[in-house]
Every structure is written in C-alpha cells, then in structure tokens.
Amino acid sequence: MRLTKFGHACVRIEQDGSTLVIDPGAFTEPEAVQGADALLITHEHFDHFTEDQVRAALAANPGLQIWTNRAVADQLAGLGAAVHAVGAGDAFDVGGIDVSVHGEWHAVIHPDLPRVGNIGFLLGGRVFHPGDALTVPEQPVQTLLLPMAGPWNKIGELIDYVREVRPAQALGIHDGVLNDIGRGIGERMLGEGGPGTGAPYRYLPSGAGLELDAV
C-alpha cells in the first residue's frame, strides 16, 4: 500500500492496481484524483470537498465511485449509482481494499456554530483518515493521519489523541494554513521535543509518498 499526500487534507492510496483518494478539496492539486477508482469524502467543508471537482472527476472517469456521508451525497444528486452514502459501522470494498467507516460528527468549532456530519475511513486496517474529528477506531491503526491545524483543534488534544489511538506512526495532514514555523512547532511537540505520544510523527510535503508496508 502506497500513500501519497496532496494539498492540505488529501491523500491518495494505491494498492494492487486500485486507487482511492480521500478528501480532495479546494486546496488539493487536480492531479490527485486522476485515474482514481474511488473518492472517499469525510464531510462537506470546502477544504475536503467541492462539488464541481467531484462532478468533473466523474465526467472524466464514468467508472469512478464516491463514498461519503448523507449530507455530501445529497449535494451530488443526479449522479446515480456512482454515489454511496455511508455512516458509522458500515464497511465496503474498493478493488480489494477493505474500508470501514467510523465516527459521526465534526469536532466542535464553537458552541454557537452548528456541527456538520463527519465520518472517518480506515483502509485495510492500516491507515485511518479521521476527517475533522478526533475519532478513535475500535480496530488497531498502523498509520494515523493527524489533522494538524484547524479552528477546532489544539496541539495538546492531538498529543492525547495519538496516545489513545496508539498507531505505529502518525502522519501530519490538514496543514494548509500552517507556515514553516507552525509546522516546526507541531513536529517538535509531537516528536522528541514534546511530552511523548508513543508513536513517531512524520511530516510529508505535498506530492511526497511512502510505502506503508515499510512501517
């Protein structure tokens, strides 16, 4: 299984000829979705999902399948059987990659702001993308994709989250609003300069990838 990070919150997973792309939003390079067999979308916020991009990807590749929550599926009305609405506890298969769905709600930004639905995807028991929530899957996780910056989180919560999930490694995502200073602070706090999480932390620039089997 090979993981490639793209802008902000998007990753591309390739295994045995199958390709899944999670959360190609407004800050994601267009090439991230090219040739994909499936798009997995955690929630409706524009940095994770844009309707025009998804519709264009399906027009370019009529065999593309889209798995997401009900709110996003409703925005993709008219695309027929290509769109699958799923929720916590559901599981499906994409080209031999087992996917299970976890979580229900986006993390709280502020009590005065309405929450939206949010689901996380665990792929092959190896890599977990939580979207914009600190959801803890019931199954073990090899690689945790860690949302580094957003209006709803802080570094102390991320440290505790990694401790609770207990992955073999954590990879930073959701970092499009961070400059080099902010990324450096995150790396230090989640690495040897912090209180310790029990898992090594790694930052990947956009376009970089790694083989997850090597962990």
Write the pLDDT tens digit of every residue in 4-57: 999 999 999 999 999 999 999 999 999 999 999 999 999 999 999 999 999 999
Q: Are strands 120-123 and 127-129 parallel, antiparallel or unpaired?
A: antiparallel
Average pLDDT, the chain: 96
pTM above threshold 0.85: yes
Q: Which amino acid is at 61?
A: N
Residue percentage of the chain with pLDDT more than 70: 99
Sign of CA pseudo-dihedral 107, 140, 201, 198 = positive
Q: What dihedral do alpha carbons 127, 32, 97, 67 form, nearest 10°?
A: 100
pLDDT of residue 157 exceeding 60, the answer is: yes
Reduced to 3 states, what is the DSSP secondary structure of residue 73? helix
Instruction: Count CB-CB contacts under 10 A for residue 74.
Output: 12
Q: Which amino acid is at 214?
A: A
Q: Which CATH number fits domain 2-205: 3.60.15.10, 3.40.50.300, 3.10.20.30, 3.30.390.50?
A: 3.60.15.10
